[in-house]
Amino acid sequence: MNSDRNQYADDHLMKRLSVLLPPSLLLLLSACATHLPPPDPAAWVKDCVATPIPAPTTDQGTGPLLFATTRLPDCRTGTFDMSTERANTIRLGWYDASEAVKPGDPVVPNMAAEGDWWDTLGQQLVRGNGRVLLFVHGYNNNFASPAARLRMMRVAGAFKGPAILFTWPSQNAALRYLWDETNIDWSQAYLNVMIRRLAADAAVREIVLVGHSMGARSVIDAMEMLDAAGLAKVKTVILASPDVDRERFGQIIQGIPGRPGIASGQRHYTVYMSGKDGAIRVSRGLHHYPRLGSPFCLTKDKYQRCYPKPSPVVDVIDTTAVSRKGIGHNDFLDSPEAAEDLKLALQGKGGAQPGRLPAVSGIEETPVGEGIWRLCPSEGCKPIRKKQKN
C-alpha cells in the first residue's frame, strides 16, 4: 500500500514539475543528486541462495513469472532484495504475482538456478506454443511495480507462454532521470545477450517485446543492433508511452540513405501515445525534440497533432481521449479501452481492429494517415476543438 502511495506521489510530483519548473532546472536537479556506491558489493551477494521454481498452480496454469536483472541483489538480511545498484552479470529469478492486482502491490523476488530457470521457460513454452513475452520497464521504477504490470499484461493478453521481466537498476526516484538514462544504456548489452539467448532456443517460435517509457528506447536499440538471427524471431514489438526521439524511430522504420528501413513481414510495431502524458512532456522539454510517446507538434497550433510517418509495419494508437489516471503515462494498462487494444497487439494483430478509429488532427479534424488510430470512450471522442459559430 505504501509503495502504491509512493508511486502516486511520484506521478503527482512529475505532473507538478512539468508545469512549474523549466527543463533546465529539472536537468540540474537530476545532475546534482548525490549518492555513494555500495561499500562491498561482494558482501551483498555472498548469501544469495537460489529457490526452486514451483510448479504452475495459478494464472490458468502458466505458472510463476520470470525475470532477468542487472540490479545488484542485497541478501545481507537473508532475503533476496533488489537494489538500485549495478550488477556485473545477469541474474535470473522468478516471482509469484497472483496476489498483485495493481502496481504497488508487494511482489517478492526469488533467485533461481540457471538450469532451473531455463527448464521452467521450456515447460512454459510448450503451453504457450513457443511464444515468449519480454518486458522492459521504464524510468523511476522499483522491482514490484513493473513486476505487477507484467502480470497484468499476461492476464489482459491471455498470454499462455512464459513472461519475463527485464529489470535494470532504475533509481526509483523522480529526480534521477539522468541516472536512469545512464543505467539503461549500461544495461543494453545485457538485454541484447538475453534476446540472443532466447532467439537461439529451438523451442522459441516468437519473441514479443514490450518496452514502456524509457524501456522502449532500450527495445528500439536492441532491434537496431541485434543480428538477423535474433530479429527473425522478434515479430511483435509494443512501445507504450515511449520516451524515444520520434525522428530516431522514423530512421529505423523508414530507413536512411545507405540503410533500408523495415520491410513488411519482418516484424510489426504498435505504439501507444497520449497527449496527456505529463512524463513525456517533461522529457520533451529536456531533449527539445518531439518524443514518440506524444502527438506534440513543433508548431504554434495547439490543435494540430503530429505522428510518425505512416508505415505498413507500424500501428500508432493515440489514447488521449481514454486517458483515465495519473498523468496518462500508463494508459496501455490503466485505460480499459487501451488494455483491450493491447490484448490484440499481444496476439500479433495489427491494422484495423475493433475499437480503433482513424486519428485526426487540427480544427477540421483531418485524417492523418493509414495506420494512425485513436481510441474513444463509449460515448465517442470529443472534437479536438469546437468550431466557431458564424
DSSP letter, residue 195: H
Q: Give 86-125 pLDDT, tens digit per residue.
A: 998 999 999 998 888 788 888 999 999 999 999 999 999 9
| Under 8 Å between Cβ of 285 and 18 | yes
Residue 276 CA to residue 282 CA, distance in Å, equals: 12
Average pLDDT over residues 134-147: 97
**Does residue 142 or residue 302 have the better pLDDT?**
142
Given this model, what pLDDT does residue 1 score? 45
In a domain, 219, yes or no: yes
Given this model, what pLDDT does residue 59 score? 55
pLDDT higher than threshold 90 for residue 29: no
Alpha-carbon separation of residue 93 from 66, 74, 83 (angstroms): 6, 14, 15
In a domain, 86, yes or no: yes
**Does residue 4 or residue 216 have the better pLDDT?**
216
In a domain, 387, yes or no: no
In a domain, 385, yes or no: no
Q: Give 172-191 pLDDT, tens digit per residue.
A: 999 999 999 999 999 999 99
Give the list of residues 6+ apart from residue 20 with CB closer than 8 angstroms, or none. Answer: none
In a domain, 125, yes or no: yes
Amino acid at 180: D
Given this model, what pLDDT does residue 390 score? 46
Pick left, alpha or beta for residue 111 (phi over 0 → left; psi -120 to 50 → alpha; otherwise beta): beta
Residue ranges in the chain assigned as alpha helix (H): 2-20, 23-31, 41-45, 114-127, 144-156, 177-200, 214-225, 228-232, 246-254, 278-287, 331-334, 336-346
Given this model, what pLDDT does residue 74 score? 95
Per-residue confidence band for 356, with pLDDT thresholds at 50, 70 and 90: very high
pLDDT higher than threshold 60 for residue 5: no
Given this model, what pLDDT does residue 4 score? 46
* Domain region containing 364: 2-375
Given this model, what pLDDT does residue 26 score? 55
Closest CA to 184 of 213, 225, 214: 214
pLDDT higher than threshold 80 for residue 315: yes
**Does residue 47 or residue 103 have the better pLDDT?**
47
User: Residue with C-alpha cell 518524443?
Assistant: 291
Per-residue confidence band for 23, with pLDDT thresholds at 50, 70 and 90: low
pLDDT higher than threshold 60 for residue 2: no
Q: Give 238-254 pLDDT, tens digit per residue.
A: 999 999 999 999 999 99
Q: What end-to-end distance do the CA atoms of the chain give, in Å?
A: 54
pLDDT higher than threshold 80 for residue 61: no
Given this model, what pLDDT does residue 229 score? 77
- The most confident of 86-100, 203-217, 362-376, by mean pLDDT: 203-217
Dig out the grid coordinates for 98 from the structure.
Answer: 497472483
pLDDT higher than threshold 80 for residue 164: yes
pLDDT higher than threshold 60 for residue 10: no
In a domain, 389, yes or no: no
pLDDT higher than threshold 50 for residue 314: yes
| Under 8 Å between Cβ of 83 and 72 | yes
Dig out the grid coordinates for 308 from the structure.
Answer: 510518425
Q: CATH no. for residue 68?
A: 3.40.50.1820
Given this model, what pLDDT does residue 227 score? 80
Given this model, what pLDDT does residue 6 score? 46
Percent of the chain with pLDDT over 90: 70
pLDDT higher than threshold 80 for residue 72: yes
Residue 96 CA to residue 64 CA, distance in Å, equals: 5
Alpha-carbon separation of residue 331 from 246, 294, 325, 339, 383 (angstroms): 19, 12, 8, 8, 20
Closest CA to 330 of 200, 188, 141: 141
- How many structural domains comprise the chain? 1
Write 42-49 long-range contacts (CB < 8 A, 24+): 43/76, 44/72, 44/73, 44/74, 44/75, 44/76, 44/83, 44/85, 45/72, 45/73, 45/74, 45/75, 46/75, 47/75, 47/76, 47/78, 48/73, 48/75, 48/80, 48/111, 49/75, 49/80, 49/111
Average pLDDT over residues 121-134: 95
In a domain, 60, yes or no: yes
Given this model, what pLDDT does residue 261 score? 86
Number of C-beta neighbours around residue 60 at 10 A = 12
Given this model, what pLDDT does residue 8 score? 44
- Mean of pLDDT over the chain: 88
Backbone angles phi, psi at 192, to 5 degrees: -60, -40
Given this model, what pLDDT does residue 231 score? 82
